[in-house]
Amino acid sequence: MTQFRVERDSMGEVQVPAQAYYASQTQRAVENFPVSGWPLPPALVHALGLVKYACGVANRDLGKLTKTGKNKLNDEQVAAMLSACREVAAGKFDKEFPIDVFQTGSGTSSNMNTNEVIANRAIEILGGDRFAKDKPVHPNDHVNMGQSTNDIFPTAIHVSVAMQIKNDLIPALQRFHDELKKKAVEWDKIIKIGRTHLADATPLRLGQEIGGFARQLELSLERAQAAIKAVLELPAGGTAVGTGINTHPEFGHRVAAELAKETGIPFIEAVNHFEGNAQRDGLVECHGQLRTIAMTLFNVSNNIRWLGSGPRCGFYEIKLPDRQPGSSIMPGKVNPVMCESMMQVAARVMGNDQTITFSGATGGQFQLNIMMPVMGQTTLESIALLAGATRAFVDFCAIEMEANPEACEASVEKSLSMVTSLNPHIGYEKAAAIAKQAFKSNKTVRELCREEGILPETTLKEALDPWSMTEPQA
What would the pLDDT profile of 430-466 be if each residue is shown by its tens digit? 999 999 999 999 999 999 999 999 999 999 999 999 9
What's residue 135's pLDDT?
Answer: 86
pLDDT at position 162 over 70: yes
pLDDT confidence of residue 382 = 98
Percentage of the chain modeled with pLDDT above 90: 94
State the catalytic residue, choosing from 197, 287, 415, 468.
197
| Model confidence pLDDT, tens digit, residues 174-198 | 999 999 999 999 999 999 999 999 9
Mean pLDDT of the chain: 96
Average pLDDT over residues 93-113: 98
- Model confidence at 68, pLDDT cuts 50, 70, 90, reads low
State the Cα–Cα distance between residues 162 and 167, nearest whole angstrom: 9
Give the pLDDT mean for 354-372: 97
pLDDT at 1 over 60: no
Range name among 5-14, 42-51, 233-242, 361-370 with the lowest pLDDT average: 5-14
Q: How confident is the model at residue 473 (pLDDT cuts 50, 70, 90)?
A: confident
- With 90 as the cut, is the pLDDT of residue 70 above it? no
**Annotation says 197 is catalytic:** yes
Q: What is residue 134's predicted lDDT score, i.e. its pLDDT?
A: 83
Active-site option among 327, 341, 411, 415: 327
**What is the pLDDT, as a whole number, of residue 121?**
98
| pLDDT of residue 69 exceeding 90 | no
pLDDT, tens digit (0-9, with 9 covering 90-100), for 288-336? 999 999 999 999 999 999 999 999 999 999 999 999 999 999 999 999 9
The pLDDT score that the predictor gives to residue 350 is 98
Model pLDDT, residue 322:
95
Please, which pLDDT band fits residue 362 given cuts at 50, 70 and 90?
A: very high
pLDDT at 130: 86
For the stretch 208-217, pLDDT in tens is 999 999 999 9
Segment 235-258 mean pLDDT = 98
Residue 411 or 159, more confident: 159
The answer on pLDDT for 142 being more than 90 is yes
Confidence of residue 9 (pLDDT cuts 50, 70, 90): confident
Q: Is 327 a catalytic residue?
A: yes
